[in-house]
Structure 1
């Protein structure tokens, strides 16, 4: 038995051995991570955002994913931890002046310059091509190399001056260990935010209930319960004695003429200390007391009196 032409087969052609494990080309993996969107697999174009795990996305792809969460999308698992647009941060990237970009040909072919990176570190000048570790700040979105943060230690951003903490530093396209650490930080941060919301809700409800009570009862109630001691005869006598006094006070305040009480003594105007001109206005004055001879006779000139 043999093949046509007198060829003799070798052992590896007849016996199938174990399959070799296919290794991913590191250069191709770096190009895919740093130049293409993790969700849509398209070339990264501004505005570029990053999640809390350090993955890069196009902002329009994230918005489309949030609006249409269908089960048919196989790439949705890469962004399953993104629940809203607040979970991503828009990045402030520094352009690389040595990057040539897309070279368009007259035939319509394009050549992408993948030898150089599109962005660099604004502090040290390292290219963001995957060979150097890069990170960004959640508070402002500025991107730096990890070497720049280690060499120039500061609690303020190097470009915009915003204050940041250690939890705000997120590594871009880190290793599996880096992703696990970032995942635990993300879960702790979200639990803390939920607890703060729960504590704020009862406080708001208490403030609303207090305002309602104040609106219902703006002042003290006017109805007062009578004491048992005030229901006796002594209390009634006090009421009757205080009634004429209160009435007199009300009349004097209103400006009306009030009559003297029935038990009060009458004083004549002649004995008063008023002036003589004022006393002459009344009939009790001496000038008003005249005899019949001194008083004049009334004479009428009309015919109706005869």
Structure 2
């Protein structure tokens, strides 16, 4: 039985078998990993940073991700382990002098050499194009090939001279096994940092409480030995001697002070001050005027005599 027009369908047209797995082009994958940011999918531009799993990012893209963590971004899963800017290390990359950039093939009529990379290893000279394994140090951020580490074994960075350990060496764009190892190291490192913070807090609290205790604690007595009756009598005599001196100073200066209990108030007219000083007050004889001398209008400072 055929279709319209008398054609006979074949078996592969009617029965659909399993789909063939599409093979990813390795060259395109390497270009995407080593030349583009994992978050923004833009071309890597300095400053370039790397996470603890060995992925490359633009620093601007990481800062934007930390400021706006929206669930709509599908690429945010690749950077879900980045909690702060401290989880990222800025890389110190050495430029490749043979790299021409995008100027070599502007019209599209020239072959693109995918083996040529922007950066190289400063020790061995290998290009960082994904064909060779590269790594960086968390302590200083220097980048060089893994071959340089194996050939020149040292506990100090080959470029800047900073000391490092095995945990500080992180492989860039490694395999799944490398990523699993780096993930376990990252978790152990973060747990260790949390425990150190917890141990520092009680120590800080103890250091704050120690000076308070020392102030309240009774120390060695500094009181001079002697009879208590003699000391009390001496203190009373000193107080009695100081009291009349203070009253005498106040009366000689002429300034108004607090009157002592039982002391009588004296008028300014009876005091021994000068006449010019006494004339300032209303109790002086010059202030008392007769009715003829007083005005017929009332001021705001009227006096009733």
Same fold per superposition (TM over 0.5): yes
**Shift of residue 241, structure 1, vs aligned partner:** 26
Change (3 A) 1:225 1:38: farther
Q: Cα offset for 1:257?
A: 37
TM-aligned CA deviation for residue 290 of structure 1: 73
Output one character per residue of 1:186-242: Cα deviation in whole Å (capped at 9) or x when no partner. 111111111111111111111111122334458546799999999999999999999
Deviation string 1:103-156 (CA, Å, 9 cap, x unpaired) is 288889999764411111111111111111100000000001101100111111
Structure-2 separation of matches of 1:26 and 1:285: 115
Q: 1:227 to 1:62 in 2, by over 3 A?
A: farther
Question: Any idea what the Cα deviations from partners look like across 1:59-88, whole Å, max 9, x if unmatched?
Answer: 011101111111111111111111110000
In structure 2, distance between residues paired with 1:30 and 1:165: 29
* CA–CA separation in structure 1 for the residues paired with 2:137 and 2:28: 27
Q: Is the CA contact (8 Å cut-off) linking 2:27 and 2:114 kept in structure 1?
A: no
User: Cα–Cα, structure 1 residues 27 and 281, in superposed 2: closer, same or farther, change >3 Å?
Assistant: closer
Consecutive unaligned residues of structure 1, counting only runs of 5 or more, are: none
8 Å contact from structure 1 (residues 55, 172) kept in 2: yes
Q: CA deviation at 1:13?
A: 2.0
Change (3 A) 1:237 1:45: closer
* TM-score for the superposition, normalised by structure 2: 0.68
Q: Any idea what SS the aligned residue of 1:27 has?
A: helix
In the TM superposition, what whole-angstrom CA distance separates every residue of 1:156-181 from its partner, at most 9, and x where no partner exists?
A: 11110111111110000111111111
Distance in 1 between the 2:88 and 2:203 partners?
30
- Whether the 8 Å CA contact 1:103–1:111 is kept in 2: the answer is no
Q: 2:116 aligns to what? A: 116
Rg larger for:
1
Counterparts of 2:301 and 2:36, CA distance in 1: 131
Give 1:281's aligned residue. 280
Q: Residues 42 and 110 from structure 1, CA distance in 2 versus in 1: closer, same or farther, beyond 3 angstroms?
A: farther
In structure 1, C-alpha distance between the alignment counterparts of 2:59 and 2:66, rounded to whole Å: 11
Rounded to whole Å, the distance in 2 between the matches of 1:225 and 1:89 is: 69
1:98 and 1:135 map into 2 onto residues whose CA distance is 22
Whether the 8 Å contact between 1:89 and 1:141 is mirrored in structure 2 is: yes
Deviates more, 1:230-239 or 1:47-56: 230-239
Task: Give the match's secondary structure for 2:160.
Answer: coil
Gaps of 5+ in 2: none
> 1:102·1:110 contact (CA, 8 Å) conserved in 2?
no
Closer, same or farther in 2 for the Cα pair 1:159/1:3, shift >3 Å?
same
- What TM-score, normalized to structure 1? 0.68
RMSD: 14.3
Q: Per the alignment, in what secondary structure is the counterpart of residue 40 of structure 1? A: coil
Partner of 2:293: 294
- CA separation of 1:198 and 1:237: change in aligned 2, threshold 3 A: same
Identify which range, 122-131 or 296-305, moves more after superposition.
296-305
CA-CA distance at 1:9 after TM superposition = 3.5
Task: Give the number of aligned pairs.
Answer: 305
